[in-house]
Each structure stands twice: as C-alpha cells, then as structure tokens.
A and B are shown apart, each in its own frame.
Chain A
C-alpha cells in the first residue's frame, strides 16, 4: 500500500494565532487548527524538535490528522484542562479529535505519550493521518522500521513508536508513517510513544484511554483548585493552565515560551529561543502562583531560582536552562524559518549580558515569598545579602536593559529603578530579620543615591515624564515599573505623569509598543502584549480602576480562540508575532486581573 501524500494547506505554515498547545510538564506540542502538530521537542521542551514543521515545513516534520475532504474546524480546550478538542465539519459528517499529552499513572507508561482520539459525531468522514518524524531539528538521519509489528522511527538515543487502533492499515515509508480510515461508529486512537535513552514502551489501548481520562481529571482538579474569583476568571484560569504547560516539572523552572525563533517581524531576523527560564519573570511568576493558590509551584519555583542562581553567585545570569544549567550557546540552524524568517536560532546569546534589573526582580520575589510566609534559611539569607552587596557595586554600570538590546550598553532608567527595588527590599528584609543586617545601612544609602539619580537624570521636565535613559527624550513601556514597583511612595505625581506619557506615545489601540526608537536590529516589531497588561496593572495600582477595567476588557478579545497569546501582536492586522504561548503575557494578565480584583473600585 502506498503512503498517502501530505494534506494540502493554505500556506506553508499556519498563522501563529491558529495554534493550540498541549503538554505534560516536560514538553509542549503545538497543534494548528487544521489538525497538524507542527512543534514537538523530545524528550523535553528545550530538546531538539522531532516535529518542527513550524520552523521548516519541508524538513521540520509534523503529524497531520484531518479529513481528506474540505472541512471547517472549530476548537476549544475541554473546560479547565490542557486537552484540546477540534471538531471538523465536512459535507459527509462531523468528526471530533481530542489531543492530549498524557500524564503517567501507575503502571508502565511511555516516557512521553501524545494521544489523538478520533470520534465521529455524525456521518462517515474519510480521514488521513501522517507522521513525519525529523529528529534533531531535521538534521539527524531517521530510520523507520517495525518492532513486534509496531512502526518505530529512531535516531541515536531517541525513538518514537506509532500505535494506531481503528485508524486504517498502517503504511511505513522511508520518511513517514501514515494511514487512511473512515471515521464512523468506532472510535479511532493514534498514539505517539517517545523514548530517550531507553527502550520504547508500546502502550495498550485500554491503558492509553485510562491515562487520557485521568489526565483530563488531573487538569480539571488542578484548575478547580485555583483561587481567583474576580470577573476575568476564564482568562485567568486559561493563563494559569498555559503557564502550567511551561513549568518544567522536574525542576520547577518556567520556560519563557514553548518555541524558538517564531519571528517578532515576519521575514525578519528578530528570532530568538525562549525555551529558557528568565529570572526577570520571577516576581510576576511568584505573584501569579501566590495569587492563584499554587503553593507547591511557588515553592518549587523559588527553590529552583535560588538553586540555579547559586551557580553564578553573586552575579545573576539573565537566563538559565530549565535544568538550572548556565550554558546556552546560541547557534543558527539551517532551517527555512517560520514563513522564511531567518535565521532560526537555538540557544540564547543574551545569557551573559549584564542586565541590572534582574537583581531587583530576584529580591522583589524573595520579598514577596518571605512576606507571604515562605521561609528563608540562614544560608539563603547570607547569599541574598551578598547579592545586595553586588548591586551596590554594579548599579552605576551601563547594561543591556530589560529588552536585552544588542546595541551598545546604556544607562536604562528601568535598570536603575530595579536596582533601587533590590536594595529597598533587601533593607526591608534585613529589618524583618530575614537577611543579615550588617550591610543594611549601605543598602539603604545606595538605594537613596539611585533614587536621586533616577529623579535627577532620568526625569525629563520637557516631556513631563521619566524617559528611557538619561539624556534621551525616548519613552519606554518598562517605565510602567515605576507604578508596578511602588517608586516614590507617597509622592506619585511623576509616576502618574509617566503612565500618561507612555500611554499617549506608545499606544496603538489597546496595545502598547515597547519603545519606538532603535534597538540595534533592523526591522520593526509588533506591540508587546505584556506591556499592555502592565499598563492595566499600573492604572489599577494608581486607583484608576475604571480605565484599567476598560483596558483589560479590550485586551482579552485579542487572544486567539483558545485564550492564548504570543509575545507580540501586529496592531494593524491582529496577527500574532514572536514566540508562543508566551509566559510573560499570561503572567502579566494574571497579575493585572488579580490587582484589579484586589483594588476595590472607588
């Protein structure tokens, strides 16, 4: 029997907006609305892709499953889960496909298992499926054969098996495994069982079905235990579920996004690998976890953050690997890129940059953790004190800033502000007896010097606002941190003026650009979605409840049909840009919604 050809597609890759995400706490698969899984890294999220059609539709590999005839697709997550349900409507009937990465239960389960269940709702619908595994970002030779009658694709220490029930005769070709069947009364099941450095497990059907059911139960229980009861609960719970997908279960680290090299400009070179954990996101992460009652996740993340930063103590690296490692060498892959957006990069050269704001984010995180009842032992307190001492030494240096600009280092206002946050929080913790108090006077005095610097050098009387860096007239959405971090407590006139100036200059509808000036790279990017939610939170914190509520109501419909966001949105077309789903956006959404719920309307 001949292997069926590729299913036709409107263009080489689906729009980023059309992807949904499923995962198991170790890796994430992205599924387009046409039923094609175009992204799956194995065994972990930061491993090389096996299905990487997202970055090269010819060489990357994918797992297609869809009707052979014309269809319209509708999809949703099963309520309160990370299990995706796609319904295909055709002239010959309707078919429902349920996609999940299962969680292991008792018993011998595959290392990683991706399940696709096909049920006919009405009629007899001809279906076609095709798995094209391409190990190592499509670079490693793959052997396809059978073991005990089961199709297996392998390359070195990695392998995956395809199990299929009621899904037609399986055909193995040199580059793909596939089949065709008619979805009617009997339920079909397709399973990818993956293994790294181990023999494969070929699961039995009843065990797969049981794991799928228990996976749905797990997600429902987890989502049901989240404690947010404000008016934006659906969006908050979806964001929490999206974040949970990005949590690397063995370490507690949170990946910034599930993908690499989805472009910030279509066809451009702003393509970065976000499958690392940024301590910068830590304050938002901890806030979100604590706000939603995710204590185990908060403890795990805090523990990971302290453990990972130990490797570079007292310096903080900008990003760490999900296992806590520090090496993230950047290289370019010979892939065509998402819609010809090249280069495709893996690794991230921002890792060794000096970004002063991370110290503020770390100590803000520690402050929140400790003040919400988390325990800091003596050794941790000593190390944090040494980090505060390091901030006293470093704060006068120029850095790459929150946006990791690849131009010359500069004295970014937000970096200085976050150094002030670091030392203020360290001094407060020392006062509470949670950090050694020996250097507290130095921290307090240096914080005051930084405040003076920000107020004298980073304030533009001409613009009536803080500006991006001393001596410029440029505004930057990161200046909203003056409101988020409580700068100038009791005297917030300048903070309010900055919020207004940022909103006026950087807004495009409900969305905000990060900045409008040069950043050392060619091309123009879209609006940075997290900034828009920061604006919501800034407005809420400054008592402008109605404006904040109006803005968040405008932002929520900009998500895709599943409630997910990418890093950026083109404000003119609504097209998603950048890596997806992006954790920082969902963190900012939760933080904004939680702040709005906490701050009563006047």
Chain B
C-alpha cells in the first residue's frame, strides 16, 4: 500500500467517473454535470466554469483517494472489493450530504429552499440523492462511485 498507488488509482478512477457521468448524460440518463456545478461556484462564464470545474473535480478525486488510502491503512488491508464498499459509502455521502446539502449551502449561485429567487441567477439545486437531475441520477451516481472505489482499491492493493 503506497500513497502513489492511491494517487494513481484516484487519477484513473476520476477519469472513469467523469467519463461515465458524461456518457450517461449523453444517453439522457442524467443532467448531472459535476465540473459545471463546481466551476460555476467561481465563474459565471460557462466555458471557464467547466474548465476550472474539471480541475477541481480531479483535485477532489485525488483527495478522496488519499482518504480511501488512510482507511485502507487503518484497517491494514486493501482490495478492489473493499474499494467498492468505500465507493458505496462515498456515493451515499455524495447523494445525501455532500452534493445535495453542502454544495448548495456554499455555492453562491445555487438555489436552496430559503433563497429569495431574485437575488442572482440560480442553479437548479440537486435535491436529495440528486434526484432533481433525473430519476436515474442516483443509480448513475452510485455505479460510477462503485467503479471509482474499485479502481482506487485495486491500485492501492497492487502498489505493494
């Protein structure tokens, strides 16, 4: 188990997660667009927001991989299926708290139940389990995070 294994897994896992979400969007399964959600917290220009959003998303992908690594170290074992289990917890956290509650709370342009709508342009909030972005979004989110977790777990295990 090495940090480098976790970072490599985090990088590849984030690539797969981002591409998977994009593919699901093209397949009309979801309107979830994490780079746009993240980047639009800082920029109103769509192109710039998405570019910065991708960078932020990769940074978060690496940070979460380091958190997985810490958990693997704590329990003294790492494998793809443990990673999948972490991915499950990660998806539940993202769907119930991280993106659905915390992001709207800190995002300057995202609506909440208490926002006065005239204040500024508002982004549609994701809702519980991100369901506002399409009925299939919870499933899509779960699947891509399971894959992410599996990749990080396998890379950490393979890194010795």
Contact = CB atoms under 8 A, between A and B. Distances in A.
B124 A199 contact: yes
18 contacts: A108-B45, A108-B109, A143-B135, A147-B111, A147-B132, A148-B111, A148-B113, A149-B117, A154-B132, A156-B28, A157-B30, A196-B31, A197-B26, A198-B36, A199-B36, A199-B37, A199-B123, A202-B121
Contacts, number: 101
A199 B126 CA distance: 8
Nearest to A152: B124
Looking at chain A, what size class is its interface with the partner chain? 20 to 34
Interface string B120-160: 11111111000011111000000000000000000000000
B86 to A, nearest CB: 27
The winner among A106, A150, A152 for most chain B CB atoms within 10 A is A150
A203 interface: yes
A197 B121 contact: no
Interface of B: 25-26, 28-33, 36-37, 40, 44-46, 49, 109, 111-113, 115, 117-127, 132-136
A195 B111 contact: no
A199 B121 contact: no
A207 B44 CA distance: 13
A108 B40 contact: yes
Contact of B115 (A148, A154, A163, A200): A148
Interface of A: 106-109, 143, 147-150, 152, 154, 156-159, 161, 163, 195-205, 207
A156 B30 CA distance: 6
A25 to B, nearest CB: 15
B124 A161 contact: yes
A157 B134 contact: yes
Contact of A202 (B32, B123, B126, B127): B123
A159 B117 contact: no
A135 to B, nearest CB: 10
A150 B29 contact: no
A195 B117 contact: no
A201 B110 CA distance: 9
Nearest to A154: B134
B124 A201 contact: yes
A4 B29 CA distance: 33
Given A198-B31, A199-B31, A200-B123, A205 B118 contact: yes
A204 B119 contact: yes
A205 B122 CA distance: 11
B133 A156 contact: no
A148 B30 CA distance: 19
Contacts of B26: 197
A198 B112 CA distance: 18
Nearest to B21: A197
B125 A147 contact: yes
Contacts of B120: 204
Given A106-B44, A147-B111, A148-B112, A198 B33 contact: yes
Contacts of A156: 28-29, 134, 136
B121 A157 contact: no
Contacts of B37: 199
Nearest to B113: A148
Given A109-B121, A156-B29, 15 more contacts: A108-B44, A108-B123, A148-B115, A149-B111, A149-B117, A154-B132, A154-B134, A195-B31, A196-B31, A197-B26, A197-B33, A200-B124, A201-B122, A202-B123, A202-B124
B45 A202 contact: no
Contacts of A159: 31, 124
A143 B31 CA distance: 14
A203 B113 CA distance: 16
B69 to A, nearest CB: 31
B121 A203 contact: yes
Nearest to A202: B122
A199 B131 CA distance: 11
A109 B36 CA distance: 13
A197 B29 CA distance: 9
Contacts of A143: 135
A199 B35 CA distance: 11
Nearest to A104: B46
A152 B132 CA distance: 9
A284 B80 CA distance: 62
A201 B26 CA distance: 19
A109 B120 CA distance: 11
Contacts of A197: 25-26, 28, 30-31, 33
Nearest to B111: A148
Contacts of B112: 148
Contacts of B40: 108
B117 A148 contact: yes
A198 B33 CA distance: 6
Contacts of B133: 199
B98 to A, nearest CB: 15
Nearest to A205: B118
Given A147-B125, A148-B117, A156-B28, A202 B33 contact: no
Nearest to B116: A149
B90 to A, nearest CB: 21
A110 to B, nearest CB: 8
Contacts of B33: 197-199
B31 A202 contact: no
Nearest to A206: B118
Contacts of A157: 25, 28-31, 134
A533 B45 CA distance: 44
Given A148-B111, A199-B133, A106 B45 contact: yes
Given A107-B44, A157-B29, A147 B121 contact: no
A9 B17 CA distance: 50
Contacts of A196: 31
Contacts of A154: 31, 132, 134
Contacts of B46: 108
Interface centre among B25, B113, B133 (most CB of A within 10 A): B133
Contact of A107 (B28, B119, B121): B121
A65 B30 CA distance: 31
Nearest to A207: B121
Contact of B118 (A106, A198, A204): A204
B150 to A, nearest CB: 26
A270 to B, nearest CB: 32
A158 B124 CA distance: 13
B33 to A, nearest CB: 5
Contacts of B32: 199
Contacts of A202: 111, 117, 121-124
Most B CB within 10 A of own CB, among A108, A149, A152, A195: A108
Contacts of A158: 28, 31
Contacts of A109: 121
A540 B99 CA distance: 66
